[in-house]
Amino acid sequence: MEQVTRFMAVVRSVLSRTALKDAVVSKPLSAGEQQVLVLSDVRVALGAGGGTGASAAKRMASGTGGGSGGGAKARPVAVLVVDRGQVRIEPIGN
């Protein structure tokens, strides 16, 4: 279980430093005299588990196991448009 805990600590550290950079609000994009920034809905999920134990089967066995997984999703929801000093938000989709 200690290995799973250490693994998740490393993953959390790496994600906090590098993942999702420019994902919620993009870098400005130029379109003529306009500046456009994409606004996104971002979701991240992580999970891990582990355990040790003996088998209840006829043959006595013991072991350890562990696993982890995760996923991320980013979906653009709007654009922020800056045009000649005026700012507006244009929704994307529903």
- Cβ(49)–Cβ(66) under 8 Å? yes
Beta strands in the chain, from DSSP E residues, in sequence order: 29-31, 34-54, 62-83, 86-91
pLDDT at res. 35: 93
Looking from the CA of 85 toward its CB, the CA atoms found within 13 Å total: 0
| Residue-wise pLDDT tens digits, 68-92 | 888 888 889 999 999 988 999 999 9
Q: Which residues pair with 76 in a beta bridge?
A: 40
Cα dihedral 12, 14, 18, 23 sign = negative
- Cβ(3)–Cβ(33) under 8 Å? no
Specify the pairing of strand 34-54 against strand 86-91. unpaired
Q: Where are the domains of the chain?
A: 2-91
**pLDDT > 70 in the chain, percent:** 80
Cα dihedral 69, 74, 75, 77 sign = positive
> Is residue 30 very low, low, confident or very high in pLDDT (cuts 50, 70, 90)?
very high
